Structure 1
Amino acid sequence: MTHASTTPGTAPAPVVRLLPQLADFAAGRYGAAPFLLAAGPEGWRGYSFAEAARAMHAFAALLEREGVRPGARVGLQSENRPEWGLAYLAILAAGAVVVPLDVQLRPQEVGEILAFAEATHCVASARQRPLIEEARGARLPGLELISLDPAPELPSWEDALRDFPDVGPRPERAQPHDLAVLIFTSGTTGQAKGVMLSHSNILHNIEGVARSFEFGPADRLLSVLPLHHTFESTGGFLCPMRVGASVAYARGLKSNELREDMQTSQATLLLGVPLLFEKLLAAIRRGIGEAPLPRRLLAHALLGITGLTRIVTGRRIGHALLRPLRQRAGLGRMRLFVSGAAPLPEETFWGLVDLGWPMLEGYGLTECSPVVAANRPHRPRPGAVGWPLTGVEVRIAEPDAERNGEILVRGPNVMLGYYRNPEGTAEVLRDRWFATGDLGRWTRDGRVRITGRLKNMIATAAGKKIYPEEVEAQIAGCPYVLEVIVAGGRDARGEREEVHAHVVPNLPALEALAASTGHACDAAFVERVLRRELEARGHHLAPYKRVKRVIVREREFPKTSTGKIRRQDLAAETPASRVGAVA
């Protein structure tokens, strides 16, 4: 049985037919307004909307001169910078297919992707060029390189601006439903697959996002997530272009640089992953804790009033009450945070809301271009990822007794399929419905709540189904837990499946606790505190869902470039990364 609960409405029509035409649309509407910015000695400088369109057309002309033909696959390997997005659009303007590459990949991985994609060219920055050349030498001797930085021996971005300063839009080299972007993703649970997205897929998603979030020419987005990731390329580049917002590219994720970039860029929006927002909240609290005593006491008092008022009355007064604190932190212009890619802990949500920042959580997958659902800016709430975008239909397939079932998605944003993988495509695309592999249910107000992954589900001998993400959500707010993965494991006899928690302890917090209670912060103390905390938090769960064993780790979990924990690596690890277990 399949339960359908959304009336999708009519998908809003894109304002252009093809993705590169967005640059001319934005140039005509927003002109000389700043668009793509990078930090330099003279502050934040870059391209206006009009300059961006001209540069994109010039680079497209260079690509054509270098033999890029309609339908060809062209790799794009670069750190975040203004030229990344313009090269992305230029590849499409030449009628080719862009293959975005993760800068964290090794040469062998890059070579495998480009070889499988049958790429003819690759656009790379100077920093990434040695990696591409190594991959070319091993797998792709015929691959042509084009540089985003000056390179006397290669065609470059600089050459394009010099040789084609006045070239205009070229005739359409593709159709809306043609393949535009080929994204290889392994996520956190499986082998790499080439997701095929058309111009129409992404343009429809841009319209849905633009009409769901309230932002425009007065806004500036600080870009911190890697642009090869669809969440950032769609939400952090293409959507701002559509609505006239500017984008400032952060120098990196080092806490001091990021804090300075948030201050100096005058950013109003930040797209991120939960790990980023957890670290931001921790840094703010650390700054309060290190402030002079009078300011520290005042900040704690105001935060206490804000939290108590919210709990008792439902009113959120942090925006007004904590304005001086945000301004002293240099974050006075920041007005909205958007989180995706993984579940956001409720404690982080309320921590930032109480400081006066609305926090929007959304849900998406690369196969859906990527956004499926999102909360709305007016009075967002935690616990669910929001309502489906207009024109996107969501179903919960075969719900169980707790109303959990697989999330299915249908709409103009759903991918064409997996590249050269008809079997994989047939497994997930059924009658135009995309089977996400995610488990969820509907909330009473019509939002989607994610409850787990089908592949992560733990099945007990009694036939009970346990979704690790639900248990992790209970543990995530523990101040003595830095990271946690809940997974199935065998009981002491090795006979039955039970719930195990793999925990990275928050050692500074545990050391502070030990010092305040007169204990040594040794392994026994850590195990004792974690056992007590997890038992206390488990009382909110049914007995069969409670953690039966805690495995304490020395190192943080391996992560993807967007900060997701790589669950599939857990099974392959040696016990050396663990310091003990609490039965």
Structure 2
Amino acid sequence: MTKKELAILDRYRQNVLKEGRLRDIKQMLSLIEKHYPNDNLAIVEKRKDEIIEYTIKRTLHDIRALGTALVNMGLKGKHIAICGENSYAWLISFLAIICGVGIAVPIDKELTDDGISQLISKADCEVVFCSKTYVKCMKAHQKNDERCKTVICFNKEVDAPGFYTFQNLIDEGDKLLKDGDTSYTDIEIDSNAMTAIFFTSGTTGANKGVMLSHKNLCTNVNGITDLIPSEGSSFSLLPMNHVFELSCNCLTAMYMNATIYINDSLKNILANIQLFKPHALNAVPLVLEGIYYGIWAEAERKGKADALRKLVSLSNKLREKGIDMRPVLFSTIKKKFGNKFPTLACGGAASRAEYVKGLGDFGFKVYNGYGLTESSPTVTLNMEADRDPTSAGYVFPKTSIRINEPDEEGVGEIWIKGDNVFQGYYKDPEATAASFEDGWFKTGDFGKLTASNELFISGRKKSLIILDNGKNVFPEDIEFGLMDNISYVREAVALESEQVINGHNTKIIASVLYVEPSDFPDKTDDEILKIVKTDVADVNRKMPSYKKVTDVVLTYTEFDKSSTRKIIRAKAAERYFNSKEG
């Protein structure tokens, strides 16, 4: 997209924003139709080697046609699950459901078949949309839960009772619309009613169904468009079943008519970025790590790492004087990303300062923030993350933050309230009641808030290490301390354990460290462990005495992660305790 084309698009966007605050997503679709040229691209996806483009006109038609077909099938008010890879069909299904049919229930496709089935049943779903990958799973689910009588497959004809295809339903809805059927398009949206159930990733416990409304989702979209300059296009990489990708990227991009390019495979990320040349993408820390290490690995391989370090040093000195030469100095790197540095909006977990600052040094614009599924998801936003990667940013519009019972350093549990905060956990009144106090949602995260409303995160309440001397230690402090000071440590998990010291069982801080044997050529396992323990001891000397790591266990494989690439702490702890038993 040229600067002239972007300027024209921005004029259309201003007309959209003049309509006032979004109330619901159905209204958003109407505004898109009213203000943008209907032949503008809305969504682009790649199926194998074929590039398929969907205009605004086609996209809005398919949403309405699908919605009309579903209503005529008697599915109004039903809970409808969606399980599959990111695709145009996935997004159209979600939008059709929430804009008049029923309750959308995005499901994590990375779960086991049993796990998928359990969540579909837990959310009381009677209908499922799925890709062909999950047809077998859905057939098994129907046998386990007789309530699920309808399965709609995105990309495969299935000769089985109760199975339909996505495109056939759109074709049927198209005929109904042409015959004057307004049973779907006339439905009015209650912006305060539950419209979707998003399941938490369950990294520290069971998956809980988070009930979100149109008001919740629109509060997030409104806030992002208030704060972040709109880009010309966006790259959909993270799973759409997570509200971070769906709300912060897809819904916001549609509202601002930033073309959404859908990535078809993790192995094709760089190739697709070079193909589509997106202006922005949402990422998790592991993606930032991959980009950062990929740049340096290539420089090392070509023998240009020293030259690159000198360029970074020169560039940073020039920037201190107000001279930004990054597009010129790092033009070779820029070409790898479609001849532009895409904006990287990172969420899902804390990012290592090394990656955020390092990418900023090259010219990437990095946004960081803090959020939860329960807050739709944004709570704070740091739009200059490369300048201070430790900050989670400033409080999001329409959101209030309270630090409950802060200690002498101002650290306490983060409580939030606002139009973005969820209604409660589906069919779990006890968990809902336990999570709220006087209208405030208790996040379970600890942090501190500055006088200027800037938030700094300390860690999770559930993973807090409490020592015998009463000291509270956030494992994240230990983990980043180890990774920032020991270059070969790929991942780290700190946890509470016990050790007999002076004849007494004493609580200690233990750590499991993921390292690669290739970083220690010709060394035995015992020799590697000895080297690591020596380096950990060096780090201990830089830390307060109560944060000393007393026991170290190594693993040569990366930790188990959720679909948003968060380390599952319970699985990491298993590795530690299993090693002790062995």
TM over 0.5, shorter chain: yes
- What SS does the aligned partner of 2:89 have? helix
Q: Which residue of 2 aligns with 1:121?
A: 127
Contact 1:474–1:538, Cα closer than 8 Å, also in 2: no
* Aligned pair partner of 1:36 in 24, 40, 43: 43
Deviation at 1:260, TM superposition (A): 0.4
Q: Which residue of 1 aligns with 2:341?
A: 334
- What SS does the aligned partner of 1:525 have? helix
Q: Which residue of 2 aligns with 1:509?
A: 519
Q: Following the alignment from structure 2 to structure 1, what is the Cα–Cα distance between the partners of residues 165 and 88?
A: 15
Deviation string, structure 1 residues 268-295 (Cα, Å, up to 9, x no partner): 112111011101111111111222x4x5
Deviation at 1:481, TM superposition (A): 0.4
Q: Which residue of 1 aligns with 2:14?
A: none
Q: Which residue of 2 aligns with 1:517?
A: none
- What SS does the aligned partner of 2:490 have? strand
Deviation at 1:94, TM superposition (A): 3.0
* Aligned pair partner of 1:480 in 481, 488, 493: 488
Are residue 259 (structure 1) and residue 270 (structure 2) matched?
yes
Are residue 170 (structure 1) and residue 185 (structure 2) matched?
yes
Q: Which residue of 2 aligns with 1:151?
A: 157
Contact 1:299–1:325, Cα closer than 8 Å, also in 2: no
Percent identity between matched residues is 24
Deviation at 1:501, TM superposition (A): 1.1
In structure 2, the CA distance between the partners of 1:145 and 1:556, relative to structure 1 (3 Å rule), is: same
Unaligned runs of 5+ in 1: 1-11, 512-519
Q: Following the alignment from structure 1 to structure 2, what is the Cα–Cα distance between the partners of residues 314 and 403?
A: 35
In structure 2, the CA distance between the partners of 1:541 and 1:333, relative to structure 1 (3 Å rule), is: same
Q: Following the alignment from structure 2 to structure 1, what is the Cα–Cα distance between the partners of residues 335 and 23?
A: 45
Deviation at 1:571, TM superposition (A): 3.7
Contact 2:83–2:131, Cα closer than 8 Å, also in 1: yes
Deviation string, structure 1 residues 188-245 (Cα, Å, up to 9, x no partner): 11111111001111111111122121124x2x21111100011111012111111121
In structure 2, the CA distance between the partners of 1:152 and 1:142, relative to structure 1 (3 Å rule), is: closer
* Aligned pair partner of 2:279 in 268, 284, 290: 268
Higher relative contact order (CA 8 A, sep 6+): 1
Q: Which residue of 2 aligns with 1:109?
A: 115
Deviation string, structure 1 residues 19-46 (Cα, Å, up to 9, x no partner): 2332232232222221211124666432
In structure 2, the CA distance between the partners of 1:492 and 1:569, relative to structure 1 (3 Å rule), is: same
- What SS does the aligned partner of 2:360 have? helix
Q: Following the alignment from structure 2 to structure 1, what is the Cα–Cα distance between the partners of residues 63 and 378?
A: 26
Deviation at 1:152, TM superposition (A): 5.8
In structure 2, the CA distance between the partners of 1:186 and 1:270, relative to structure 1 (3 Å rule), is: closer
With 460-469 and 41-50 compared, the bigger mean Cα shift is at: 41-50
Q: Following the alignment from structure 2 to structure 1, what is the Cα–Cα distance between the partners of residues 514 and 432?
A: 37
Are residue 302 (structure 1) and residue 317 (structure 2) matched?
no
Q: Which residue of 1 aligns with 2:455?
A: 448
In structure 2, the CA distance between the partners of 1:403 and 1:510, relative to structure 1 (3 Å rule), is: farther
Contact 1:17–1:199, Cα closer than 8 Å, also in 2: yes
TM-score by length of 1: 0.89
* Aligned pair partner of 1:286 in 297, 300, 311: 297
* Aligned pair partner of 1:459 in 466, 482, 488: 466
Deviation at 1:14, TM superposition (A): 6.6
Deviation string, structure 1 residues 287-320 (Cα, Å, up to 9, x no partner): 11222x4x5554343123235666xx48684633
In structure 2, the CA distance between the partners of 1:250 and 1:96, relative to structure 1 (3 Å rule), is: same
Deviation string, structure 1 residues 325-365 (Cα, Å, up to 9, x no partner): 22342442233111111110011111101111121111110
Q: Which residue of 2 aligns with 1:9?
A: none
Matches within 5 A, 1:45-444: 45-70=52-77, 72-140=78-146, 142-151=148-157, 153=159, 154-165=163-174, 167=177, 170-216=185-231, 218=232, 220-254=233-267, 257-291=268-302, 293=303, 298-307=307-316, 313=320, 317=324, 319-376=326-383, 380-443=387-450
Q: Following the alignment from structure 1 to structure 2, what is the Cα–Cα distance between the partners of residues 86 and 96?
A: 14
Deviation at 1:382, TM superposition (A): 1.0
Contact 1:476–1:484, Cα closer than 8 Å, also in 2: yes
Contact 2:343–2:364, Cα closer than 8 Å, also in 1: yes
Contact 2:263–2:269, Cα closer than 8 Å, also in 1: yes
Q: Following the alignment from structure 2 to structure 1, what is the Cα–Cα distance between the partners of residues 530 and 317?
A: 31
Code of the residue aligned with 2:120 in structure 1: it is L
Code of the residue aligned with 2:550 in structure 1: it is K
Contact 2:360–2:386, Cα closer than 8 Å, also in 1: no
Code of the residue aligned with 2:505 in structure 1: it is E
Contact 2:356–2:386, Cα closer than 8 Å, also in 1: no
Q: Following the alignment from structure 1 to structure 2, what is the Cα–Cα distance between the partners of residues 55 and 207?
A: 25
Deviation string, structure 1 residues 543-568 (Cα, Å, up to 9, x no partner): 11121111111322110001000012
Q: Which residue of 2 aligns with 1:6?
A: none
Q: Following the alignment from structure 1 to structure 2, what is the Cα–Cα distance between the partners of residues 296 and 455?
A: 41
Q: Which residue of 1 aligns with 2:7?
A: none
Count of residues paired in the alignment: 552
Q: Following the alignment from structure 1 to structure 2, what is the Cα–Cα distance between the partners of residues 41 and 554?
A: 34
Code of the residue aligned with 1:389 in structure 2: it is F
Q: Following the alignment from structure 1 to structure 2, what is the Cα–Cα distance between the partners of residues 42 and 259?
A: 15
In structure 2, the CA distance between the partners of 1:54 and 1:441, relative to structure 1 (3 Å rule), is: same
In structure 2, the CA distance between the partners of 1:183 and 1:316, relative to structure 1 (3 Å rule), is: farther
Q: Which residue of 2 aligns with 1:515?
A: none
With 133-142 and 425-434 compared, the bigger mean Cα shift is at: 133-142
Are residue 468 (structure 1) and residue 475 (structure 2) matched?
yes
Contact 1:373–1:386, Cα closer than 8 Å, also in 2: yes
Q: Give the superposed CA RMSD.
A: 2.4
Code of the residue aligned with 1:88 in structure 2: it is F
Q: Following the alignment from structure 2 to structure 1, what is the Cα–Cα distance between the partners of residues 151 and 241?
A: 18
Q: Following the alignment from structure 1 to structure 2, what is the Cα–Cα distance between the partners of residues 13 and 402?
A: 44
TM-score by length of 2: 0.89
